[in-house]
A = this chain, B = another copy of it.
C-alpha cells in the first residue's frame, strides 16, 4: 500500500506538498497540484486515517451510548446524529450497554483511550459519577435522559409537561380512573412523568389511587403485558391507561385484547415516543411525539461544538400529543 512518501517521490515533490494537496490548501501551485494528483491516481494512494488521527490527536469518532438498540425510540435519534456526524466527517460508534456497568466501562474506556472524541449518552442507567469524572477531560452530551446537577449539557423534552398533556387528554375524554404504567422511579424521566400525571389529576379534582400506578423494570412489550395483567385484576378497574413508552402501551393493548375488551371503548390507551410501530397496531396508538430526529441532530451539533472547545448550553425541545384510535371511540 502506497503511503505519502511514495506519492511524494512519484510526483517529485516533498511529503509536505502532498499533505497540502491532500488537505486542499491553496498555497500549492496548479502545476504541482496536478503532478501530485497524478501520482496519487497512479499509485492508487489512499491517505491513512491512522497516521492522520495520531498526528491530529483525534479519532473523528463519536460514541453513542444507548441501553438497547431494540428500543425503537433510539433509532430515529441515531439517524439524526448520524446525518450531522457524516456531514462533519465524523463517524459514530453505537454502543449498547444493556444497562450493564461492565459494558459501560468498556465503552468509557474507548474515549479514555482516544478511540472516540466524545460521547452522547442516552442511557438512563448510566453511572452519573463516572460520567461526571469523564466529563472533566472529555466532551459529553446527555440526550433525552440526564442528570440535573451533573453540569453536563443535555438535550431533552419537558417530560413533566408532556405527561401532563397526555393525562389531561384522557381526563377531557371523561376518564376519571386512569392508570399509569411507569418505569422505575430511580430514573429522572419516570419521576418527571409521574409528576405530570399527578398534576393533571389534581388540577381536575381527581383523586389519586396508588393501585393505579404500576412500575416496570423495562420499557418493553412484555412489561406492558404484565402491567396490564395487574391492572385487569383490580376490583375497581380503571378506564384508561397512560404508559410511558409506546412499547409498554402496545403490550397493554395486546393484553386488553386478550381479555376480550375493546380499545378504546372499554379501555383507552396512551403511549409515549411515537415510534413507527405505534401507527401499525390495531387500533393505532395515541401517543406523545418527541422530536427524535431533531434531538439527534442537535445533540450531535452540541457534541461537535464541545469537542471544538466551545461552550454549549442545554436545550429543551417541544413535544406534541398525537391523537389516534386508541383514545377515539
A contacts, CB < 8 Å to B? 1, 46-51, 53-54, 57, 59, 61, 69-70, 72, 75, 78-79, 82, 86, 91-94, 96, 103, 106, 109-110, 112-115, 137, 221, 250-251, 253-254, 257, 276-277, 279-282
Asked if A49 and B115 make an inter-chain contact with CB atoms under 8 angstroms apart, the answer reads yes
Asked if A113 and B47 make an inter-chain contact with CB atoms under 8 angstroms apart, the answer reads yes
Closest chain B CB from A103 CB (angstroms): 8
Asked if A113 and B49 make an inter-chain contact with CB atoms under 8 angstroms apart, the answer reads yes
Give CA–CA (A92, B63) in the complex, Å: 11
Cβ contacts under 8 Å, A69 to chain B: 75, 78-79
Give CA–CA (A29, B53) in the complex, Å: 34
Give CA–CA (A106, B82) in the complex, Å: 13
Asked if A113 and B48 make an inter-chain contact with CB atoms under 8 angstroms apart, the answer reads yes
Cβ contacts under 8 Å, A75 to chain B: 69-70
Cβ contacts under 8 Å, A49 to chain B: 59, 110, 113-115
* Residue ID in chain B nearest A57 by CB atoms: B50
Asked if B93 and A91 make an inter-chain contact with CB atoms under 8 angstroms apart, the answer reads yes
A221 touches which of B72, B82, B137, B280 (Cβ 8 Å): B280
Asked if B48 and A114 make an inter-chain contact with CB atoms under 8 angstroms apart, the answer reads yes
A46 touches which of B46, B59, B113, B281 (Cβ 8 Å): B113
Closest chain B CB from A73 CB (angstroms): 12
* Residue ID in chain B nearest A86 by CB atoms: B106
Cβ contacts under 8 Å, A57 to chain B: 50
Taking A69-B75, A79-B69 as contacts, is the C-beta distance between A221 and B115 under 8 angstroms? no
* Residue ID in chain B nearest A60 by CB atoms: B115
Cβ contacts under 8 Å, A78 to chain B: 69
Cβ contacts under 8 Å, A70 to chain B: 75, 276
Cβ contacts under 8 Å, A94 to chain B: 92, 94
Asked if B96 and A93 make an inter-chain contact with CB atoms under 8 angstroms apart, the answer reads no
Closest chain B CB from A132 CB (angstroms): 16
Cβ contacts under 8 Å, A279 to chain B: 221
Taking A93-B93, A276-B221 as contacts, is the C-beta distance between A114 and B282 under 8 angstroms? no
Give CA–CA (A237, B315) in the complex, Å: 54
Cβ contacts under 8 Å, A276 to chain B: 70, 221
A50 touches which of B114, B280, B282 (Cβ 8 Å): B114
Task: Beyond the given A1-B137, A277-B280, please list 11 additional residue pairs across the A-B interface where CB-CB is below 8 A.
Answer: A46-B112, A47-B113, A48-B54, A48-B114, A50-B59, A54-B54, A69-B75, A72-B72, A86-B106, A92-B94, A221-B279
7 CB < 8 A contacts A-B:
A49-B113, A53-B54, A54-B54, A91-B110, A92-B94, A251-B280, A257-B282
Closest chain B CB from A1 CB (angstroms): 8
A281 touches which of B72, B92, B114, B281 (Cβ 8 Å): B281
